[in-house]
Amino acid sequence: MEDKVREFLEDKYEVIVIGAGHAGCEAALASARLGMKTLILTMSLDSIAMMPCNPNIGGTGKGHLVREIDALGGQMALNIDKTMIQCKMLNISKGPAVHSLRAQADKKYYHTEMKRAIENEKGLCLKQAEATDIRINSDGSFNVYTQYGSYFNSLSVILTTGTYLMGRIYIGEYNHASGPDGLAPSNELSNSLIKLGIPLRKFKTGTPARINSDTINYDVMGVHSGDDEIIPFSFMTNEINIEQVPCYITYTTDKTHEIIKNNLDRSPLYEGVIQSVGPRYCPSIEDKVVRFSDKERHQLFVEPEGLNTKEMYIQGMSSSLPLEVQISMYRSMIGLEKSEIMRPAYAIEYDCIDPTQLKSSLEYKNIKNLFFAGQVNGSSGYEEAAAQGIIAGINASMSIQGKDPFILDRSEAYIGVLIDDLVTKGTNEPYRMMTSRAEYRLVLRQDNADERLTEKGYKIGLVKENRYSKFKEKKEKIETEISRIKNFKITPKSEVNEFLESIGSVPLKMPISIYELLKRPEINYDNIISLDIQRPKLNKEIKNYIETIIKYEGYISKQAKQIEQFKKLENKVLSDEIDYSLISGLRNEAKQKLNKIKPKSIGQASRISGVSPSDINVLLIYLEQRK
């Protein structure tokens, strides 16, 4: 018998998605829902949509992404709605722009339900196999090879390999070729990418230990509960009634910091063993203790990984220190004095690409119909991965169907900000979404994601009739309500004024509409219910939404004007064909950068680092002349 694995064509598809993490699942579902015969490959069917780090979805900025994915017809929001065990709207004491949903997931159940969604999607085929090689045929189609010798032919490939490519985990002096959490790494595909001319680089990320709940003293910790009334992530979920489980809050101590400082020489990070860059915004505890050396203590959250497990996630304690140090470090913290580690903290290093090699559609610039999404693009986080996934899935389909790419700009969605940042500015560390990255965040709220995107999703065919009609119903409900409260006037009767004074509001002199009344900061839907006698039944979300657009009317319309300005520059299209080295007047750095990024508009060009306002002027003149 020969030793060599024999190659054979197993099947043909229109789209092949490599990877079934958060990016891969959205990509494959979108592609299949757009009618493409789609294959999704995963190293293991048991790790589909696995959460190798924090057991939650959403959070500041990230929650926005989830709702946008949902508005476009994606799966993440529906899946977390089904599998959450606690939910909270974060930052409610701050402005509406930063309100963000965040839910604790039952990790295993999240996986099970996402796997089920994939299995139940018509036209989507799910297989456990490792993609080991991608070869491009002379007709531009792809052959994706697996370890078993089978290969699949397809018109398009979406690569979403997360942290698996040449994965290596680090725990102090110990390191080992491995995917996340002891799963097998993907060691073949990197070479194949390099052969295709795709340069790779190494990033790293880390996760804290999982602690046995029975060994934690919760009595000395703070309790962090969910909201009384849960607002679902998905615009399709009507309500969520679950018994929520609490999370807990604790802190590092002086002793923790001392232990860490004394052992920095045993951290692969600090000793240069890992040279790759980690996520600035999810730093390891070593990092935090060193960078913020004046901080007396760091807050930590203790979060359950599910309803059926004793494993607790210690958010904020990501580390690559040796297990020996980890044990004393955890035991030096409040309530964790007797803690037993079930899985140690570790760092993982993996291959990823430079996202400036991608177009805004997430297509690789030099290889038609090859798309990348998720952590492999240099991002970090489940939501960031899923957001890229759905866009790659859509655009793989658009491209096959000969349609224009589907691109959201920075004024339309956090997804637009995310992808524009990645492909325009690039990133030197795992990129994480944050509200501060969005210029137009008063317009890009989580509560209006459906208003911003459902129509678009419907047009490309990803939003189906049931979602679309539900959306229109909601929109109508809001419009009806707004016109009702504009017309419904309260008159300055004495009971009314007494009531207003009782809640700290100025008495009326003239009749005033509910709409106008709601502009007062101290007034909200709930506290004037006794005045608003004709009010129909409205859910919390709609009430919040209307309050927001009334109270922030001025700011929002100001931002709308800025967006108009922004759009002007976004609409000044720059062709891919332009050779910037031939445009005189551009500085050399600008020429290089512009030729590398190939921005699709003046707007995008202006965001490239190294392209100055004067370079932009040169480009504007260049465009004028060519008219």
Ligand X SMILES: Cc1cc2nc3c(=O)[nH]c(=O)nc-3n(C[C@H](O)[C@H](O)[C@H](O)COP(=O)(O)OP(=O)(O)OC[C@H]3O[C@@H](n4cnc5c(N)ncnc54)[C@H](O)[C@@H]3O)c2cc1C
Name which of residues 178 to 207 contact ligand X (CB under 6 A): 180, 186, 189, 205-207
Considering beta carbons, is residue 74 or 599 the nearer one to ligand X? 74
Q: What is the 3-state secondary structure (H, E, C) of 483-537?
A: HHHHHCEECCCHHHHHHHHHCCCCCCCCCEEHHHHCCCCCCCCHHHCCCCCCCCC
Binding site partner of 237, from ligand X, a copy of itself, none, Cβ cut-off 5-8 A by kind: none
Residues that bind a copy of itself (CB under 8 A): 1-6, 8, 10, 43-46, 108, 112-113, 115-116, 119-120, 125-129, 147-150, 171-174, 176, 178, 181-184, 210, 212, 214, 265-266, 268, 271, 273, 308-311, 322-324, 327, 340-344
Q: CB of residue 186 vs a copy of itself: minimum separation in angstroms?
A: 11
Residues 559-584: b if buried by 16+ CB within 10 A, e if exposed: beeebeebeebbebebeeebebeebe
- CA-CA-CA-CA torsion sign (438, 443, 444, 447): positive
Phi, psi of 380 (to 5 degrees): -140, 145
* 29 HSE (CA, 13 A, CB side): 32
Q: Are strands 150-159 and 142-146 parallel, antiparallel or unpaired?
A: antiparallel
Site of tokens 């965001």: 607
Beta carbons within 8 Å of 119's beta carbon, 6+ residues apart = 126
Considering beta carbons, is residue 361 or 375 the nearer one to ligand X? 375
Q: Which of 80, 230, 385, 523 binds ligand X (CB under 6 A)?
A: 385
Binding site partner of 4, from a copy of itself, ligand X, none, Cβ cut-off 5-8 A by kind: a copy of itself
3-class secondary-structure state, position 88: strand
Q: CB of residue 541 vs ligand X: minimum separation in angstroms?
A: 26
Considering beta carbons, is residue 171 or 597 the nearer one to a copy of itself? 171
Binding site partner of 18, from a copy of itself, ligand X, none, Cβ cut-off 5-8 A by kind: ligand X
Binding site partner of 178, from a copy of itself, ligand X, none, Cβ cut-off 5-8 A by kind: a copy of itself
Considering beta carbons, is residue 41 or 460 the nearer one to a copy of itself? 41
Considering beta carbons, is residue 173 or 553 the nearer one to a copy of itself? 173
Cα–Cα distance measured from residue 162 to residue 160, given in angstroms and rounded to the nearest whole number:
6
Considering beta carbons, is residue 44 or 581 the nearer one to ligand X? 44
Binding of ligand X at residue 390 (CB under 6 A)? no
Q: CB of residue 382 vs ligand X: minimum separation in angstroms?
A: 5
Phi, psi of 350 (to 5 degrees): -155, 160
Cα–Cα distance measured from residue 52 to residue 318, given in angstroms and rounded to the nearest whole number:
12
Binding site partner of 164, from a copy of itself, ligand X, none, Cβ cut-off 5-8 A by kind: ligand X
Binding of ligand X at residue 153 (CB under 6 A)? no
Q: Are strands 124-128 and 38-42 parallel, antiparallel or unpaired?
A: parallel
Binding of ligand X at residue 335 (CB under 6 A)? no
- Could you give the string, one character per residue 158-177, with x where binding to ligand X holds by CB under 6 A and - elsewhere? --xxxxx-------------
Burial of 270 (0-12, 13-18, 19+ CB in 10 A): middle
Q: Contact positions toward ligand X, by CB under 6 A? A: 18-24, 41-44, 47, 52-53, 130-131, 160-164, 180, 186, 189, 205-207, 279, 282, 318, 348, 374-375, 380-382, 385, 432
